[in-house]
Structure 1
Amino acid sequence: MTTSSLPRYLLRSDLRDFYGLSRGAIDSYQRRGLLPRPDAVCSTGLLWSHQTLRDARRSMIPTLAAAVPIDDELGADDLDYANVYMCPTQSGHFIGWTTPSIIGLVESGNVAQWHSVLACARYDGSAAYETSTTDPVIQDKLDRARERRLEEQHLTVFLLNNQPLGIGPIKVSVNSKTAGLQRGRLLLRDNNRVGAPGAWLQLPPAPSSQPLPAFTLPLLDATFPMT
């Protein structure tokens, strides 16, 4: 085996560059089980291979959901005309570093429109280097959507079911004076429920025209307790 064919391993400190997250976020997400299990342990700490990290997010994670703010014009236009949500891949303010299987798009501060994720791809420029699909038709939809934001270099594109599971108002937290969502909020998914134990939002199993009840987004501590 040549040196170039050996798998590349990353220490936990290296995950900051891979995900684009702060050291504190990496430590927190690992303790909450939001990062893949390490491949090995060496004298300097835990080790992850590139293959493990990319495989873990190449497909939608069935136990993960998210609520994200979208721009009333650009984000709404992406949804209306391409059925996608797009965001930077390497940023702690967005969810492009991971792959939830349900996304709630929050427009105008207090209304979430929940969609199941059909496929996901990550791009460096116009080239996809990670994708969840082998279907050329689906990949073409992802690529065409990505062309809408060619000025952004590192982008994640989530292709959404064009029929929302449901629409309803949300608040950021019980103590919040405003319903505005400033950054992506990761949530637990349990089949057709999203949120956290004791703070679930029940989504219908199929698209429905019935409005969802008001829902308060749980904090990360309540959704993914430290382990």
Structure 2
Amino acid sequence: MAMDASDPLIRMEERRALLIPRPEMPYGWGYLSGPLNGHFLVSVDERRVRVQFRSGDKVVRAFEWQTPGHIVDTTVAAPPAPRTVTSGELAGAKVAALVFTAWRPAPSAALIYRPEQWAVQEVEAGVIVNGEPAGTARIKAAPYWAAFLRETRVPLPAEACKRLRPVNDVTLTNPGGAVFGVGSVRLEVTLADGSALSSAVCERFYFSAPQSGGENLAHAAYGWGLIPAALRESVALGEPLGPLSVRF
């Protein structure tokens, strides 16, 4: 892929909840964007296979195997240095936003092929951060192949920023009794010194209804089926989702 030179190399786990079972994590890795002129170079020498993920001439990641299923990392990009942030720093944030991916089924299979109808099926979910209202999330219907793909961003008002802390409770209300799911929930802030910081990504996905309470059509049940049962939680239709614990 060819990316703009300004695009940072973002590890997948910094922006998305991973669906790979934990025992298999050592065998999987990925990046959400970048790098410039990113490509894979694969070389085979008899039974040994070497794979390099490159940015131009620079090797970003490399691994090899000789026995199927036994992968050895030979080059690993260093993870970003962890940063500890205090309650005072968070309370003084210039701006902040709640960010998540969402899924909402189209009301019929026919509408999957009519993009002009997706916005019509938009629902509103109230956002509560640390016990106080903090905005409204607008979630649009989307085709099944876009489930939990696009990010929804909800800017937080100044008063909500002042209540931020290292561990935050986030709740989404569902007064209209709509069927939807949210995942990869995180908070992003710009601190007083201008530095940007993102919380850890919530590992679990949350649904506004049990699967049995939703439509039985395959396109309408796709969201539940996509997420492993161990990573999803559901509430009764119309009940609030959460609180979700979002940690910096």
Q: TM-score range by the shorter chain?
A: under 0.3
State TM-score, norm by structure 2.
Answer: 0.24
Higher Rg: 2
User: Which has the larger helix fraction?
Assistant: 1
TM-score by length of 1: 0.26
